[in-house]
Amino acid sequence: MSALLGKKILLGISGGIAAYKCAELTRRLKDQGADVRVVMTNSAKEFITPLTMQAVSGHAVADSLLDPRAEAGMGHIELAKWADLILLAPATANLIARLRAGFADELLTTLCVAAPAPIAVSPAMNMEMYLAPATQENINVLAQRGLHIWGPGKGPQACGDIGPGRMLEPDDLVTRAIDFFNPEKPILAGVNISITAGPTQEALDPVRYISNHSSGKMGFSLAEAAQQMGANVTLISGPVHLATPAGVNRIDVLSAVDMHQASLQGLNDCDIFIACAAVADYRPEQVADQKMKKQQGVDDLTIKLVKNPDIIADVASANDNTFCVGFAAETQDVERYALDKLKRKKLKLIAANDVAKSGQGFNSEKNALTVFSETERFAITLADKKIVAQQLLAIIAQQYFAG
């Protein structure tokens, strides 16, 4: 699992020819699970377009201190606080000089002055400019202030010179970022997590039941990823055809009532409860002891259903200390319904998927989620459920430890 998973990286691009590599750099950082937001100086836009960077990062590019619309979204101080790391790549001689002097003359320099986050500088310029005493002195001052200087590399330059001044390649910068964040211990080490997964079966008689199409893949992917992140995982699973992930303690159940009971047992030790199961809302009131017979001449059959317990709502109200995360599969008005569930069931987070979209969610290999807390929202773009599980757990871990 990558140390960049869930890390918020603010990529600051200034105006050097190496800016064209920033699309690739963003892709590589995102491949590792990082969330990347891009800030560009005006001259950077001469080398790569904000539209390209928006497309690869998945977020609008920020470039102005004085744009009221951008400020109404994620304002510059919020953006400064958001970052876990500011990566300035390419950092031109001009940007480095302005950083040294403490300028706040455009958005990127202002963020560098305002941000509490560590800053990594990846110099990129012509070798003469790099070796100039002013640049060398500026870089030394930044290093003394605790900024991280990544590069430059040596080699052929755009101007034809050969020497130091090339921006490190995207892969090298990703490696530097991974080394920078590399955690001493897995992020969920020692945390007890219970996860419900799969469908439930609500018996009508000994051979028939009411159920749904849930495959259990999302819940099992979460169990596997949580175990790999160091958690002690209990997987409470409805009937599915999936192998138990290594190191996970699995409890098999059939009905919602069984899942409810298994979930409430051992709740005192449960730090995080994730309800991924597609629980039947209702069950037949009567379960026939014998197989129900077709009756001659009777064309209608009415089965009375009664409501099942709401497992996650009961877990959340039974133990205030358990951090509860629910799922919301919606076909319309996803945000409104998800936020309503978050409040009603007293959850800390809810992961909403739009099951009306084809190729994601129920019984699919892929999923895309929007995760809501009371005050924040996080987007996880369409990917294999294993990747989505890692990203969701990174968000859960961050929120769990923050609060």
Sequential DSSP letters for 355-380: TTSTTSSTT-SEEEEEEE-SS-EEEE
164 CB-near residues (< 8 Å, 6+ apart): 127, 130, 131, 152, 153, 154
Q: Which is nearer to ligand C5P, 70 or 312 (CB)?
A: 312
Contact set for ligand C5P, span 70-109 (CB under 6 A): none
Instruction: Tell me the CB-side half-sphere exposure of residue 244, using CA atoms within 13 A.
Output: 15
Identity of the residue numbered 66 = L
Q: Which is nearer to ligand C5P, 125 or 279 (CB)?
A: 279
Q: Which is nearer to ligand C5P, 70 or 275 (CB)?
A: 275
Rounded to a whole number of angstroms, the minimum distance from the CB of residue 196 to ligand C5P is 6
* Binding residue for ligand C5P, selected from 341, 372, 378, 392, defined by CB under 6 A: 341
For residue 195, what are the β-bridge partners?
Answer: 235, 274
**Could you say which of 159, 270, 276, 324 is catalytic?**
159
* Binding residue for ligand C5P, selected from 123, 326, 361, 395, defined by CB under 6 A: 326
Q: Which is nearer to ligand C5P, 13 or 380 (CB)?
A: 380
List the one residue out of 52, 59, 71 whose CA is nearest residue 35.
59
Token pair for residue 20? 């064209």
Contact set for ligand C5P, span 254-283 (CB under 6 A): 256, 275, 277, 279
Q: Which is nearer to ligand C5P, 6 or 199 (CB)?
A: 199
Rounded to a whole number of angstroms, the minimum distance from the CB of residue 282 to ligand C5P is 9
Give yes or no for residue 195 binding ligand C5P (CB under 6 A): no
Structural contact between residues 152 and 118, judged by C-beta atoms closer than 8 angstroms: no
Output the CA torsion 217→223→228→233 (10° steps).
-170
Contact set for ligand C5P, span 297-316 (CB under 6 A): 308, 310-312
Between CA 274 and CA 149 the distance in angstroms is 41
Q: CB count, 10 Å around CB of 374?
A: 11
Rounded to a whole number of angstroms, the minimum distance from the CB of residue 390 to ligand C5P is 19
Fill in the DSSP letter of residue 227: H
Rounded to a whole number of angstroms, the minimum distance from the CB of residue 36 to ligand C5P is 29
22 in catalytic set: no
Residue 337, Cβ density class (10 Å: 0-12 exposed, 13-18 middle, ≥19 buried): middle
Rounded to a whole number of angstroms, the minimum distance from the CB of residue 50 to ligand C5P is 38
Which among 22-30, 321-329, 362-370, 387-395 is the span making contact with ligand C5P, rule CB under 6 A? 321-329
Identity of the residue numbered 168 = L
Residues that bind ligand C5P (CB under 6 A): 196, 256, 275, 277, 279, 308, 310-312, 326-328, 341
**Residues assigned a catalytic role:** 159
